Structure formats: structure tokens, C-alpha cells
Amino acid sequence: MQKIQTTFKNCICCCFMMAITFTAFTQEITTKEIAGAEKMYGLQFSEAKRDSMMNQLKVDQQLYQYLHSFNLANSVPLPQWFDPIVPNMKFSGSQQTITWSIPQNITMPADTNQLAFYSIAQLSSLLRHHKITAVQLSHFFINRLKKYGDRLHCVISFTEKIAMRQAKLADEAFAKGVIKSPLQGIPYGLKDLFTVKGTKTTYGSPPFKDQAIEEDAFVYQQLEKAGAVLIAKLSMGELAMDDIWFGGQTKNPWNLQEGSNGSSAGSASATAAGLVPFAIGTETYGSIVAPSAVCGATGLRPTFGSVARTGGMTLAWTSDRIGPICRSAEDAAMVFAYMHGSDEYDRASRTMPFNYTGNTDVSKLKVAYAKNYIDSLPENSAEKNVIKILKAAGVQMTAIDFPSNLHTNELLTTIWAAESAAAFDGLTRSGKDSEMVQQWQSRYPNQFRSARFIPAVEYLNVCRLRYLVMQEAFPILSAYDIIIVPSMADEPMALTCLTGNPCITLPAGLPVTNGAPPSITFIGGKLYSEATITAFAKLFQQLTHFEQKHPVMFMK
């Protein structure tokens, strides 16, 4: 979703002249073809009705040709803004000052490699007390990316010039005693669907491998204001699907025989392996949750619209969102505090308070768990163990049936298919989709083509049904502050993608043999409850310390 740089008036004039000539190239439509199309949509018209449709369909054909002549860029927005708020929702409008707990007595480790898994607060302490410089810290993490990046296939490009400029500015600020945020001088990585001036933005796909968009994405600007240091653009599943891109499959740092899953693949893999202190991912349907779960990271998927998407690749206008992937809930809270917000270009974005304290009074929290997804699991399952740990800590818990009969998966995937096909119409129409890495039936080239046959009427009615689902889910979800679900359960993930609710996914046990730790997801029952769910996740991590386990092969 980039800012539109072209002059629309000139574009309209040009295309109008082209449209005049389109009639000659219009293919003849027959009533037999109309009858064939009816079967796809459960319709049956009489021959007379089909014949009466002919003139309008020919006019429509010319309009489609006119539309195609624009070859609309991915950055052109959809001017129907999706809003996750339904009637009777109420929110606080006041942002309070956040006081971060930065420890004072952090020392440089005897083995410098241990820095790889220091928290953001620990690294911030070292920087503030001049025990390491931002330049030195950036070099340290860049070197780790260069050492291990190829093993994990998690780096698309390095941004060393940008990093050194930003790191030097951070050091100058530290020398003057100026502290912008806990992120000042902290290196990080961006999923390579965000534009940054002077870099390529590849979307992980060969047709866009050399794409350079001279714009700084909103989230990059937010982090730059906070003093963070961009050191690399990380791998992503091709056009934001799974973990395969033109450089191969991004690997799971706990088991190199497995992929890292989800399209924020490089962000989760690099963070879990200690190659960056944190990274930025995106999600349309599972692309923060899944790689965080699989790689043993802590991923925050915020409320829809909490972070403006300007400068980011559009996949689905009504579902895409941006969030941090970190190693702890406290780190995720720190990053989100400085990246969230709205701008004038992403009209679906909204600046809402993030009043994080890091403290959780369990006596005041309403917590539920999805019994229909958890009760049938083995007694020694990670999910049941999470519930036992929290109950032992005094958390009162209600067993609920999480809505599972609303066909949320089908609704979400239909919306996603239609919107992504529109976002990449030019790719399909040009035939360059044949250059993409993923060519099997369930992947984008075929999905984009198939989605051409979703009628506008059906797409709009799916969107209307989505609104009914949102209204039905609201009283169920909002009755609780936290709802605990298995991380990879489709219906809870799909429903909260439709409603826009936030969630945080984090390690829920010790690493399994030849694999990552199991995971758990805490859903925020209310929109814009990121402060509540990150604080609750922090409490769980203080009780368990599962997030402090790291993949052995990357600890040197």
C-alpha cells in the first residue's frame, strides 16, 4: 500500500481514448456461454432472459477492457475502508505515559555470542551505559546474519549503509544523553514487503526481484523515529504465502529439515535464532501466528488497523495487518508501543491508546479457554499444561465453546482470494505469474486465476455475512479479556482475522526432540487490547521462562 505517485487525470484521459477502440476487440458472448456460467453460481435463467442480458454484458466487457488498460499498481487503495468496530463497542481514548523497566546492572557477557539472545531492555541498558555502541551492536548482528543467514535462507538483502547511518545517529544521541525510546540503537529486520528508499522490495517473488520503490513505509518511519537500526530485509513466503521464496525455503532454526511456516518466515526464523533482536511481520491469515508458533518466537498480531500499512505490499485490504515478532512479550510490547499508529494514506488505520504497564492483576481479569479445542487433547499436552500453570498462579478460568460453526475459514479465504487477485491483477494478466516459484495448484498463480470467477455479487455478500459474523462473535469474545486457544487451530485464527481481534503467540513448553517448543495463543477478547494480552503473556513467561530456551546450533 504505497502512496499513489501518478497523475490520475492524465491516466483517465489516456484510458478514455483507448476505450473508444475496445469495441472492435470485444469477443462475442453467446447465450450458451451464459448458461454454462450459470452452473458455477447456482443460477438458472430462461433463454429469453439470457438473450436480454446480451447487450449489457457487451457493455460490461468494454468496461472491463477499459479497467484493464489502467494496469492498476498494487499501491492503489480500495476506497471501502474495513472497520472492525461494531455497535456498542467502547474504548478508552487516553494514552498514558509508559514507564519501561530498563535494568541498570547489565554487563557485557564474557562470551560476546550471548548478546544474540539478550532482551531489548538488556541491550538498551548496555547502550545507555556506554558498554557497547550502536555501531558495534549493529556489526555484531549483521555478522550473525551473514554467518547463519544462508543456512536459514532468511535474508533477502542487507541494509548496511542505512544501518551504519542510523547507528551513528543513535550513538550521537547517547553521547548527548538523549533517549528517544528503548529501541534506540537496537538492530532489527523488516519483512521484505515494506518499502525503504535505496533498497529493493522483492515480495519474495521473481517477477518483483528487482523492484525498487523510492518510498519509506510507515512502520519503517515509526521505528526510525524511535531510533531503531534497520540491518536487513528478511525473507517472506512468495507474495506472502508460506515460507518458500526465490532463495529457497526459509528454515526452522530448531530443525533445518523443516520450514519456518507462514509468510513472515524470515522474521520469525531470524529472531528465534538470535540473528536480530526483533523483526516486523505481517498477517492476512496466520502469517504472524504460524511462524511464531513453529519457530518458538513471540509474535503479536495487533488489532486490524492499529498500524498503518502505507508502504507495505497489499494482499487483502480488509485483512492485512502488521506486527512485531520478538523473543518475549515485553519485547513485543516495546516494539508495538513505537510502531503503532495511523496515517492519512491508510484510511483503515486508527491510532488507539496502548497503555502498557507490564503488570497483571489476575483477580481483575476474565480469562477463558476454548474447551472444544483443548478438552479432548492429551492430559500432557502443552495447552492443558498452560491452563494448569495459570490456575496455580491464581487465574480464574472459564471453559467456553469457541465459535466453530460460522464457516469463518471459507469466508476469510474467499475475501482473501478476491482481494489478492485484484491486488495482483496485472501479474495475472501479463502472464508473469508463470515466473513465480510456487506453481502448484493451491498457490497464488492458480488462486489468482480461479478468483477471477468469484462474482462481485458473491464477494459483496460474503463481506456482508462477515459483518453478521462479527456481530455474533462480539458478545462472545468481548465477555473475556483473554481467550486461550491452540495456536494453529483454524477456526479461532480465521474468526479473529475476520473480526480484527488481536492475539499473541508464544512458547508453551520446553523444546521437543528435534523441534521447537510447543506454542499457545492468547486472544484479546476486546479490540485494541494489546496492552492486556502482552502483559498477560509476560506473566506467563515470568512463571515458565520457556521463551528463554534457544536453538542450540545458533548459540555460538
3-state secondary structure of 249: strand
Strand pairing class (519-524; 503-507): antiparallel
Spot the catalytic one: 125, 181, 235, 263.
Answer: 263
Asked whether 403 and 271 are in contact (CB, 8 A), the reply is: no
Cα separation, 170 vs 177, in Å, equals 10
**Residue that the C-alpha cell 480488509 belongs to:** 318
Task: Collect all residues with Cβ–Cβ distance below 8 Å to 218 and sequence separation of at least 6.
Answer: 307, 308, 309, 310, 311, 312, 341, 343, 345, 346
Spot the catalytic one: 205, 287, 328, 478.
Answer: 287
DSSP state, 72?
Answer: -
Cα separation, 97 vs 404, in Å, equals 39
Strand pairing class (482-485; 367-370): parallel
3-state secondary structure of 544: helix
Asked whether 226 and 173 are in contact (CB, 8 A), the reply is: no
For residue 35, CA distances in Å to 51, 232, 389 come to 11, 53, 61
Cα separation, 528 vs 141, in Å, equals 33
Asked whether 502 and 527 are in contact (CB, 8 A), the reply is: yes
3-state secondary structure of 112: helix
From the list 131, 107, 340, 370, the residue with the least C-alpha distance to 222 is 340
Cα separation, 191 vs 430, in Å, equals 26
191 is a catalytic site residue: yes
Cα separation, 524 vs 532, in Å, equals 8
404 is a catalytic site residue: no
Record the cell numbers describing residue 146, joined without a space: 551473514
From the list 105, 103, 136, 109, the residue with the least C-alpha distance to 556 is 109
49 is a catalytic site residue: no
Q: Which residues are catalytic?
A: 191, 263, 287
